Each structure stands twice: as C-alpha cells, then as structure tokens.
Amino acid sequence: MKAKPITRRSAVCRITGSAAALAAVTVGRGIDVAEAAVPSHLKNRINHSVCKWCYGKIPLDEFCKSSREIGLASVELLQPSDFPTLRKYDLTCAMVSNPVIDGLGRIEKAWNRIEHHDKLVQAYEQQIKAVADAGMERLICFSGNREGLDDEKGMENCAQGLKRIMKLAEEKKITICMELLNSRVNHKDYQCDHTEWGVELCKKVSSERFKLLYDIYHMQIMEGDLIARIRKYHSYIAHYHTGGVPGRGEIDETQEINYPAVIKAIIETGFKGFVAQEFVPKRPDQIASLKQGVEICDV
C-alpha cells in the first residue's frame, strides 16, 4: 500500500500519548541560541530554524545533522519526545508543536469553542511544563475553524480559554503563539486568518506571553501587503515562517515573494527571534533546497 504523504495538517495532529506520559517527559535543559556556534558564512542577523514536517522522509537524527551543518540553530514543530535528538546536535526547538487531546488542539478544533476549553487547558498545562523543563520558549496554538461561528464570538471564546493558561505560561516563561493561516487554499474555514484578527485577540488576552506566529506564506495568500503589516504589528509577532507562493515550494525566483526584502523589514523592527523555513521542497535534493532558503533569508 502506498504511504500517505506527510502534510502540515497531519504533522501538527500527531498525538504523543496521555497527559500523564507527557508530564513525565524530562529531557534536561534546552540549548540557548547564544551557545550554538554559527558557521562563519552566516551573517547571524536572524536566528534560523526549519519545520521538520516539510522533510518527512528524512529521519530526524539525519535531518538534525544536516541542519546543524547548514547553520540552523533550531528544528521545530516537534514534540518533547524529540528533544533528546535535538540536544545531540546542539539544536533547540524554536516552536514546539501543539498537544492534542481527544482530537482537540489541532488546526480545525481548538480554542474558539468554549466546550473545548477544559480539555485544552489540561493538555496545554502539561505541554507548557514539559517545554519549560526542556528550556524551550515557544509553543504553538490554533484558533480552530469557524463552522458558522462569527469572528467576534470566536475571538471572545479564544481569549476566554487562553487566559486560563496564561498564568502558568507567564510563570514558566513560555510564549504561546497562535498561527495565522490562510483559509483560501490550505485551511478552509480557519478563523485566525487575518493579521488584524490575531492582533485584536492578543489585545484581549493581554499577556506578554501570548503572541502571533506570522506565516509569510499564508498571509501573502490572504492579504498581501506583508512589509507594511509586519512594520505595523511587529510587537504582536514572536515568530515567522516562510514558504513560496504559490504552491509552498522553494522561496527562490520560482515564486512571487521577495524574501530578502521581507526579512530585511523584519530585522529593521528589532526582531530577535527565529525565522523558520516552512516550504516543501520540490527538488530531489531537499537539503540543498533548505540550504538555499537559509542563504536567501540570511540578509
């Protein structure tokens, strides 16, 4: 039987076991970016990361080795059970993947429904503790799909639920990041699909430990005007993802976004976090495509 291709949707829906098992995860301290030697060919004006799900056929150990050789400081959208492998290669996980409990916490079913909150709070409290114990700093979350829910009510529901985990996140110094995704091509009906909606949610949650994950690929599809929005709303953004438009392939001249200009704009805001490559390589040599993407963004 032919294996199903790995997608972003399937990667973030991976269930890592019961809450008790997750609570038992202990992997020692994380790796501080400053401790990781950056190859001399990189300018080091941004911190480079990559999303592992885009390279699903490459074993994690092998992928970490290649990523380190390229000069990345992080491999992300992984679970705490993957952290020991990262530590072997002096890598961090700049954005830890979401917990899933009884099908909740994934892209389609998350914080915009009050009936999901009790289970999500349970799952996220366990994940926050595991992430903090490992020395990591950021944890992804999602709004969920609208399914007929108007945007104002969905925002209110998200804020109500997220506020329940903010005290622990603040105590553990973990930043919860809701990802902005497009609802036109990849994630039909997803609610957090515009920058302004995400910014208003940040204001409602009102915590320095709740920010946005600004996905450049997704926001180019939904609204464009990337540089202007990044400049205007950068204080609400804790992390960035890349991807070529259209098709989410390599971020080179084969697609429409001027990534050097966008990355320069991000740097000019004073951003000190991570920019993660999240394109799906179309070429046979996937690691060469990754290296190229890093070099394009190393402005």
pLDDT tens for residues 142-179? Answer: 999 999 999 999 999 999 999 999 999 999 999 999 99
pLDDT band at 41 (very low <50, low <70, confident <90, very high): confident
Residue 166 burial (CB count, 10 A): 18
**Is residue 143 within 8 Å of 153, Cβ to Cβ?**
no
The residues spanned by each domain of the chain are 8-17+29-297
Residue that wins the pLDDT comparison between 33 and 167: 167
pLDDT tens for residues 91-144? Answer: 999 999 999 999 999 999 999 999 999 999 999 999 999 999 999 999 999 999
For the cut 80, the answer to whether the pLDDT of residue 16 exceeds it is no
Question: What is the Cα gyration radius of the chain?
Answer: 18
Sheet holding 47-51, edge to edge: 74-76, 47-51, 274-277, 237-241, 210-215, 175-179, 138-141
Q: Which listed CATH number (3.40.30.10, 3.20.20.150, 3.40.50.450, 1.20.1250.20) goes with 8-17+29-297?
A: 3.20.20.150
Q: What is the structure's pLDDT at 34?
A: 34
For the cut 70, the answer to whether the pLDDT of residue 22 exceeds it is no
**Is residue 234 within 8 Å of 209, Cβ to Cβ?**
no
For the cut 90, the answer to whether the pLDDT of residue 10 exceeds it is no
> Cα separation of 269 and 247, whole Å?
28
pLDDT tens for residues 216-273? Answer: 999 999 999 999 999 999 999 999 999 999 999 999 999 999 999 999 999 999 999 9
- Mean pLDDT, the chain, as a whole number? 90
Q: What is the structure's pLDDT at 44?
A: 82
Question: Is the sign of the CA dihedral 82, 83, 89, 95 positive or negative?
Answer: positive
pLDDT band at 8 (very low <50, low <70, confident <90, very high): low
For the cut 90, the answer to whether the pLDDT of residue 12 exceeds it is no
Q: What is the structure's pLDDT at 15?
A: 36
pLDDT band at 33 (very low <50, low <70, confident <90, very high): very low
> Cα separation of 201 and 127, whole Å?
22
DSSP string, 249-287: --SSTTSS--HHHHHHHHHHTT--SEEEE-----SS-HH
